[in-house]
């Protein structure tokens, strides 16, 4: 059995222009002071990591790794959520998603997509240079604007979307295989991979690629009313990463899962700081320990109510308290009678 590593922190929601949130060394020292043992790094801000340079220079990757290690932490994984989103974009979102890309490729969907693919590949090589085993991303989406079938979806539309999604991601996954890195998709609203069924549809279109894996985040399943514990039973062999994030769903007579176009603070489904929502983390950590989850318990803080620094401080202790230090022996070994093949055969009547 394997003890989950952690606690770690995904720093994307904490990055800012003031210390200690404006450079890697300072944020690592701050996170370490709260009890975190690892950092998950987004890859669009060169103040924290220059992704291309980390892919092309092992020396630079070692320097980045050394900065984090000097603070007593490890780099857990790299994130290309925003770049992965741009691998597949329905034209209805072109203008909105252009902001994720550099100005040189905006208003040019083909160039933007090529840039995104290269970015995600850089993350594979950079992860290899950093000595990591997995990286997280988004799948992007062609079919999301048609998630509710009204007007009725034309026959073959969804199949065409997933065929093209597989076509775009297969060569990326092949490169991840070359680098020895798992590509973990966060199942998330707004992505064509947003639950278990859509992940299976994706797998069908990438020939069940061994590097197509999952980041598990139960908060998104609370908002979808999906059984997030059975999800672990079904997909545990593909779950290589984890975000520890809480959420709540409180439907009313006025709104439900769609949220009525309300701001986060007024939605029936909301993300919450750890311990303030409805996720059963005791059951989650038990199941992941049962299935020998190999990765880190990484806090992703999102909450419309609580201050982020309070959420981080409380979250570090919350994760620490929930990680199960797995046993190295069977609890009833004290009553073992030893191995006696003859006795076993006699008791069985064989």
The number of beta carbons lying within 10 Å of the beta carbon of residue 307 is: 10
Q: Cβ(162)–Cβ(212) under 8 Å? A: no
Asked if omega into 160 is within 30° of 0 (cis), the reply is: no
User: What is the pLDDT at residue 317?
Assistant: 98
Q: Cβ(298)–Cβ(242) under 8 Å? A: yes
pTM for this predicted structure: 0.95
User: What is the pLDDT at residue 332?
Assistant: 62
pLDDT at 346 over 90: no
User: What is the pLDDT at residue 331?
Assistant: 62
User: What is the pLDDT at residue 341?
Assistant: 87
User: What is the pLDDT at residue 330?
Assistant: 67
Beta strands in the chain (DSSP E): 5-10, 38-42, 74-80, 134-137, 182-186, 212-216, 239-244, 246-249, 269-272, 296-299
Q: Which residues, in sequence order, are bridge partners of residue 8?
A: 38, 298
pLDDT at 35 over 90: yes
Tokens of 25: 């060394």
Using CA atoms, how far apart are residues 174 and 177, in angstroms rounded to an integer? 5
Using CA atoms, how far apart are residues 169 and 147, in angstroms rounded to an integer? 21
Residue 52's Cβ-count burial label (10 Å; 0-12, 13-18, 19+) is middle
Give the tens place of pLDDT for each residue, 244-303: 999 999 999 999 999 999 999 999 999 999 999 999 999 999 999 999 999 999 999 999
Give the tens place of pLDDT for each residue, 103-126: 999 999 999 999 999 999 999 999
User: What is the pLDDT at residue 340?
Assistant: 82
Give the tens place of pLDDT for each residue, 288-317: 999 999 999 999 999 999 999 999 999 999
Pseudo-torsion of CA 210, 135, 241, 43, nearest 10°?
-160
Using CA atoms, how far apart are residues 205 and 277, in angstroms rounded to an integer? 36
User: What is the pLDDT at residue 43?
Assistant: 98
User: What is the pLDDT at residue 325?
Assistant: 95
> What CATH architecture applies to the domain 5-348?
Alpha-Beta Barrel (3.20)
Share of the chain above pLDDT 90, in %: 93
DSSP of 18-65, one letter per residue? STTSSSHHHHHHHHHHTT--EEEEESS-TTT--HHHHHH-HHHHHHHH
Q: Categorize the per-residue pLDDT at 343 as very low, low, confident or very high, splitting at 50, 70 and 90.
A: confident
What are the domain boundaries of the chain? 5-348
Q: Which of 3, 4, 10 is nearest to 31 (CA)?
A: 10
Give the tens place of pLDDT for each residue, 132-185: 999 999 999 999 999 999 999 999 999 999 999 999 999 999 999 999 999 999
DSSP reduced 3-state for 322: helix
Q: Which of 286, 282, 285 is nearest to 297 (CA)?
A: 285
User: What is the pLDDT at residue 342?
Assistant: 87
Q: Categorize the per-residue pLDDT at 42 as very low, low, confident or very high, splitting at 50, 70 and 90.
A: very high
Average pLDDT over residues 181-204: 98
């Amino acid at each position: 059995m394997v003890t989950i590593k952690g606690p770690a922190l995904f720093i994307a929601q904490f990055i800012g222009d003031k210390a200690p949130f404006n450079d890697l060394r300072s944020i690592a020292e701050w996170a370490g002071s709260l009890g975190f043992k690892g950092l998950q790094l987004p890859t669009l801000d060169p103040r924290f990591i220059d992704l291309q340079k980390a892919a092309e220079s092992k020396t630079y990757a070692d320097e980045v790794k050394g900065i984090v290690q000097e603070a007593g932490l490890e780099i857990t994984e790299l994130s290309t959520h925003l770049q992965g989103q741009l691998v597949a974009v329905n034209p209805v979102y072109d203008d909105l998603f252009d902001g994720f890309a550099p100005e040189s490729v905006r208003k040019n969907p083909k160039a933007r997509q090529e840039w995104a693919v290269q970015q995600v590949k850089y993350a594979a090589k950079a992860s290899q240079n950093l000595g990591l085993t997995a990286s997280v991303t988004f799948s992007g989406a062609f079919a999301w604007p048609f998630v509710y079938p009204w007007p009725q979806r034309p026959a073959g539309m969804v199949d065409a979307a997933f065929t093209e999604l597989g076509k775009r991601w297969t060569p990326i996954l092949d490169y991840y295989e070359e680098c020895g890195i798992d590509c973990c998709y966060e199942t998330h609203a707004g992505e064509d991979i947003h639950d278990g069924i859509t992940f299976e549809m994706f797998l069908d279109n990438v020939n069940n690629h061994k590097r197509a894996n999952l980041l598990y985040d139960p908060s998104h399943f609370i908002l979808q009313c999906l059984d997030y514990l059975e999800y672990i039973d079904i997909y545990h062999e593909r779950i290589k990463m984890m975000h520890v994030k809480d959420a709540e769903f409180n439907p009313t007579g006025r709104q439900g899962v769609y949220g009525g176009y309300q701001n986060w603070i007024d939605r029936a489904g909301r993300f919450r700081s750890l311990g303030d929502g409805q996720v059963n983390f005791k059951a989650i950590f038990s199941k992941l320990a049962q299935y020998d989850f190999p990765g880190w318990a990484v806090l992703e803080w999102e909450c419309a109510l609580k201050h982020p620094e309070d959420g981080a401080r409380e979250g570090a202790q919350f994760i620490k308290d929930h990680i199960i230090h797995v046993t190295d022996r069977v609890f009833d070994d004290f009553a073992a009678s030893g191995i006696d093949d003859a006795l076993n055969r006699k008791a069985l009547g064989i």
